[in-house]
Amino acid sequence: MSCIFCKIVDSTLPSYKVYEDEEVLAFLDIGPSNYGHTLVIPKKHFEDIETTPGEIICKVVKVVKKIGLSIKKSLEVPGYNIAVNNGAIAGQIVPHLHFHIIPRYENDGLNLWPQGKYGDGEAEEVLKKIKIQ
């Protein structure tokens, strides 16, 4: 087993566990973007969001909500980001589905991605391609 998160699940590697139940584990990120940055994973190995069964995603997201509320209250932050990097091109370093919960502090220097604009007809074009009927 070469997955670093699977090694954390089976306690081969140490972690700072924030939450654990039979199917979900949450632990502090070892390279935090901000104080309290937490990762939430399914214990069973799934590479990304597409390969993870919906019922497992629902269980993980329920834990994301619990951890987010705990972070907000306990660390007294006004908000937090929830992120999933899906695929290497999107910044996914560990190929095991994981949700980042990143507490946000005033003037913390973290920036989100730049926003663009659609040109004439581009929104309609992309809508035709991705709309689910």
pLDDT digits (tens, 9 = 90+) for 45-86: 999 999 999 999 999 999 999 999 999 999 999 999 999 999
- Give the burial class of 16: count Cβ atoms within 10 A of its Cβ; 0-12 exposed, 13-18 middle, 19 or more buried: exposed
CA gyration radius for the chain? Answer: 17
For residue 90, pLDDT beyond 80? yes
Element (H, E) at 82: strand 79-83
- Which residue type, as a one-letter code, is found at position 90? A
Predicted confidence at residue 114, as pLDDT, reads 86
pTM value?
Answer: 0.93
Cα–Cα dist 28/101, whole Å: 9
Q: Is 98 a catalytic residue?
A: yes
CATH of 4-130, one of 3.30.390.10, 3.30.2350.10, 1.10.10.10, 3.30.428.10: 3.30.428.10
Structure tokens that stand for 52 in this block? 């993870």
Task: Please answer whether residues 66 and 25 qualify as being in contact, where contact means their C-beta atoms are separated by less than 8 angstroms.
Answer: no
Predicted confidence at residue 1, as pLDDT, reads 65
Taking the domains of the chain in order of start, what are their residue ranges?
4-130
Cα–Cα dist 12/88, whole Å: 25
Predicted confidence at residue 133, as pLDDT, reads 85
Band of residue 10 on the pLDDT scale cut at 50, 70, 90 = very high
Residue-averaged pLDDT of the chain: 96
Identified catalytic residue from 37, 45, 96, 98: 98
Structure tokens that stand for 56 in this block? 């497992």
